[in-house]
Amino acid sequence: MRKLPILLLLIIYSKAKSQQTIFPESLLLTPEKSNFEKTSTHTDVLQFIAAIQPLTNNMYVSSIGKSTMGKDIPMVVLANPKISSPAEAKASGKPVIYIQGNIHAGEVEGKEVTMMLMRDILLGDKSSLLNNQIIVFVPIYNTDGNDKMAKGLRPTQENSPLETGERENGQGLDLNRDGIKMEAPETAGLIQNLITAWDPQLSVDLHTTNGTWHGYSLTWAPGYLSGGQPGPYHFVNDQMLPFITNEVKEKNGLYFGPFGDYNTREAWPPKNFYTYNHHPRYLINQFGLRNRMSILSEAFAHERFYQRINTTYSFVYEILSYTNTHAQDIIRINKEAETAAIKNVVDNAGKIQKGVRFKMVPTNKPLAPFKTYDYIRYKKVDGSIALLKTGRVVQYDSVTYFAAFKDTVQATLPRGYIIPAAFANIAEHAKKHGATVTQLEKKTVFEGEQFIVENLTKATRKFEGHFMASAEGRFERTQKVAEKGDYMIDLAQPLANLIFYMLEPQSDDGLLCWNFFDTYFEMNSIASQQVVYPIFKYFSEKPSGKKRK
């Protein structure tokens, strides 16, 4: 008899758990209303946000800016209690977790999943995700590309949904290649009004792959470790992502794995699997240089739209569950990375070398097992042997995973950089990224080195509107007399690694690479003579004293 009340409670609890929340019709999403044949327009997203906002006290709505075509890029902040400003977020002591959808407007699952999660967190059974964190959603980052819908723009998605938007923004730029040059208003708004303002401790970028027929419903990658501090990368790559991968398999029967592609022309069965590159032009990689964590999510293009939504939802939910549980660990690890970056400059300026160019190399462990759709060999009429993909998923015991990066060119870590007043655009660009830049009030002498450009090469094909540049030359130890009005960047600041990567002349993704100095080099006849790179790297300051604004 004593067991009866407990049994009754269990029955009541079971019934309560089985009762789903009833949402108003206004909160149904375009895919749900169209049998998953359509995806949401910019107007649909704004209408959803407007419909859910009056129903909750835990939601703040703002914008990170306007697109090229003048469309607002909505930002939604979920917190309990409600948070309405970066200052309030910082004062709360909780980490900000940023989830971004639709950077490529043909890859639409992230857009829909962010709205589903808003609905479930604010009005459904996922409210506990706000216990220890603040969640910022930007569901439709590429607003312009999103509404240029047509059939056939994503052939690997096999018209599921029937129409999608374009990959590029209103300028024709790939927003996921704009992280350093920051030419798009979307990128400038994101970095200045969200990344530097709200300071997310972890960011997640939601995509759909258009590559290999691997055997996973979703693949992932951390922000790759090249010039940044190792702590955030290793926490995400070695602990967080393996744990989540196991969780979705155990809970949902879904198979996730590391992101990459193989080439059947190289070998079959596949011997090598290659991730994407390390460059901080990709926002996910840039976060590592900012001492923050990040995750790339790539749904599998060849699954149906509703399946891609399911896998992306499962992934993001498990990420948010993990960050909610490990909130203070994430803050601590990022802070330790920030402190280490500054200490490295203070202790080692002028003494150590850091990588500025990198190549992809294998990781220490192969992928085992590795899941993929199988191919069969057949003989063509002309006698040649070809491969044909089957509908059968197989697995192989060992595939070499190329997802590490080794430096091929190094440069001395300076205490900082001197930017001549004539190059105010460079100083302003660094400021827009969040760097602290000061201006000299008097002539000051610095000890350091200058780079002599012996050869400047330009790509023959345009990439993202640029003929990418590369400089070869030598460093010379010398003094620099900086004039009043020149700009100074002391690297003993949180963004030390990002600034170093942007300003080093031989960086494989720096400002020189993106043609910021082309006019200067051409005016100084780089084709016929050597030219001094205008940014001076200093190791110390002559002890004459100075004042700065």
Kindly tell me if the per-residue pLDDT of 18 is higher than 70: no
Kindly tell me if the per-residue pLDDT of 496 is higher than 80: yes
- Dihedral angle computed from the Cα positions of residues 195, 280, 99 and 495, in that order, rounded to the nearest 10 degrees: -30
Q: Tokens standing for 264? A: 């059947």
Instruction: Give pLDDT tens digits for 222-241.
Output: 999 888 999 999 999 999 99
Instruction: Give pLDDT tens digits for 359-378.
Output: 999 999 999 899 999 999 99
What three-state secondary structure class fits 96?
strand
CA distance 536 to 539: 10
The DSSP code sequence of 426-478 is: HHHHHHHTT---EEBSS-EEEEEEEEEEEEEEE-SS-BTTB--EEEEEEEEEE
Model pLDDT, residue 2: 45
Q: How far is CA 468 from the centre of its chain?
A: 21
Are the C-beta atoms of residues 409 and 501 closer than 8 Å to each other? Answer: no
CB neighbours (10 Å) of residue 151? 11
Are the C-beta atoms of residues 481 and 443 closer than 8 Å to each other? Answer: yes
State the SS3 of 124-183.
CCCHHHHCCCEEEEECCCCHHHHCCCECCCCHHHCCCCCCECCCCCCCCCCHHHCCCCCC
Model pLDDT, residue 21: 85
Instruction: Give pLDDT tens digits for 514-541.
Output: 999 999 999 999 999 999 999 999 999 9
Q: What secondary structure letter does DSSP report for 104?
A: S
The string over 78-93, giving b where at least 16 C-beta atoms fall within 10 Å of a residue's C-beta and e elsewhere, is bbbeebeebeebeeee
CB neighbours (10 Å) of residue 126? 18
Q: What is the mean pLDDT of residues 292-298?
A: 98
> Model confidence at 9, in pLDDT bands (50, 70, 90)?
very low
Kindly tell me if the per-residue pLDDT of 404 is higher than 50: yes
Kindly tell me if the per-residue pLDDT of 199 is higher than 70: yes
Model pLDDT, residue 1: 42
Cα–Cα separations (whole angstroms), residue 113 to 110, 232, 251, 292, 455: 5, 26, 18, 23, 49
Model pLDDT, residue 19: 62
**Closest by CA position to 330, among listed 303, 292, 357:** 292
- CA-CA-CA-CA torsion sign (14, 17, 18, 22): positive
Model pLDDT, residue 20: 76
Model pLDDT, residue 12: 39
Model pLDDT, residue 243: 98
What three-state secondary structure class fits 102?
coil
Are the C-beta atoms of residues 381 and 499 closer than 8 Å to each other? Answer: no
Kindly tell me if the per-residue pLDDT of 128 is higher than 80: yes
> Model confidence at 41, in pLDDT bands (50, 70, 90)?
very high
Domains recognised in the chain with CATH numbers: 25-345 (3.40.630.10), 360-406 (no CATH), 414-541 (no CATH)
Q: Tokens standing for 485? A: 């009005």
Percent of the chain scoring above 90 in pLDDT: 92
> Model confidence at 170, in pLDDT bands (50, 70, 90)?
very high
Model pLDDT, residue 219: 97
Kindly tell me if the per-residue pLDDT of 5 is higher than 50: no
Q: What secondary structure letter does DSSP report for 375?
A: E
Kindly tell me if the per-residue pLDDT of 3 is higher than 60: no
CA distance 279 to 292: 16
CA distance 110 to 222: 17
Kindly tell me if the per-residue pLDDT of 413 is higher than 90: yes
Are the C-beta atoms of residues 455 and 470 closer than 8 Å to each other? Answer: no
Kindly tell me if the per-residue pLDDT of 13 is higher than 50: no
Kindly tell me if the per-residue pLDDT of 73 is higher than 90: yes
Kindly tell me if the per-residue pLDDT of 546 is higher than 70: no
**Closest by CA position to 101, among listed 66, 132, 69, 75:** 75
β-bridge mates for residue 367, sequence order? 399
Q: Tokens standing for 203? A: 């960011």
The DSSP code sequence of 411-431 is: EEPPSEEEE-GGGHHHHHHHH
Cα–Cα separations (whole angstroms), residue 22 to 19, 130, 176, 211: 9, 21, 37, 38
Q: What is the mean pLDDT of residues 100-129?
A: 97
CB neighbours (10 Å) of residue 101? 30
CA distance 512 to 456: 10
CA distance 420 to 443: 12
CA distance 375 to 232: 38
Strands 293-299 and 202-208: parallel
Kindly tell me if the per-residue pLDDT of 278 is higher than 90: yes
